[in-house]
Amino acid sequence: MASKIILLPGDGIGPEITAPTLELLDAVGTKFDYEEHLFGGASIDAHGIAMTDETLAACQAADAVLLACVGGPKWDTTDADKPRPEQGLFRMRKGLGLYANLRPVRPFPALYDASPLKREIIEGTDVLIVRELTGGLYFGAKTRTKDTASDLCEYSREEIERIARVAFRAARRKVTSVDKANVLETSRLWREVVAELHAAEFSQVPLENVLVDNAAMQLVSNPADFDVIVTENLFGDILSDEAATLTGSIGMLPSASIGEPGKPGVFEPVHGSAPDIAGQGVANPLAMFLSAAMMLRHGLNLEAEAAAIESAVNRALAEGLRTRDLGGSADTRAATQAVLSNL
Q: Torsion angle, CA of 47/51/52/53, rounded to 10 degrees?
A: -170
The residue type at 147? D
Other Cβ atoms less than 10 A from the Cβ of 234: the count is 17
**Diameter of the chain by CA atoms?**
58
Q: Angle at the Cα of 236 (from 233 to 240), degrees rounded to 5?
A: 145
pLDDT of the residue at 251: 79
Q: Is 90 helix (H, G, I), strand (E, B) or coil?
A: helix
Q: Which residues contact 227 (CB under 8 A, 6 or more apart)?
A: 126, 127, 128, 171, 172, 173, 174, 175, 176
- Whether the CB-CB separation of 328 and 336 falls below 8 Å is answered with no
- Whether the CB-CB separation of 55 and 39 falls below 8 Å is answered with yes
Residues classed as catalytic: 138, 180, 213, 237, 241
From its phi and psi, is residue 249 left (phi > 0), alpha (psi between -120 and 50) or beta?
beta
Q: Backbone phi, then psi, for 50, in 5-degree steps?
A: -75, -25
pLDDT of the residue at 228: 98
If we measure between CA atoms, which residue out of 251, 221, 257, 218 comes closest to residue 237?
257
Per-residue model confidence as pLDDT tens digits over 120-163: 999 999 999 999 999 999 999 999 999 999 999 999 999 999 99
Distance (Å, whole) CA 136 – CA 90: 12
Q: Flag residues of the chain having pLDDT under 70.
A: none
pLDDT of the residue at 204: 98
Question: Which domains does the chain carry?
Answer: 1-99+260-343 (3.40.718.10), 116-247 (3.40.718.10)
- Whether the CB-CB separation of 249 and 326 falls below 8 Å is answered with yes
CA distances from 301 to 40, 47, 168, 262 (A): 28, 34, 20, 11
User: What does 176-202 look like in DSSP terms, one character per residue?
Assistant: EEEE-TTT-HHHHHHHHHHHHHHHHH-
Alpha helices in 78-171 (DSSP H): 86-96, 119-122, 157-170
Detail the DSSP E strand segments found in the chain.
3-10, 32-36, 64-69, 100-105, 127-132, 142-144, 149-151, 175-179, 207-211, 228-231, 254-258, 265-269
pLDDT of the residue at 261: 86
Q: Is 25 helix (H, G, I), strand (E, B) or coil?
A: helix
Distance (Å, whole) CA 245 – CA 80: 33
pLDDT of the residue at 235: 98
CA distances from 239 to 138, 175, 189, 339 (A): 16, 15, 21, 29
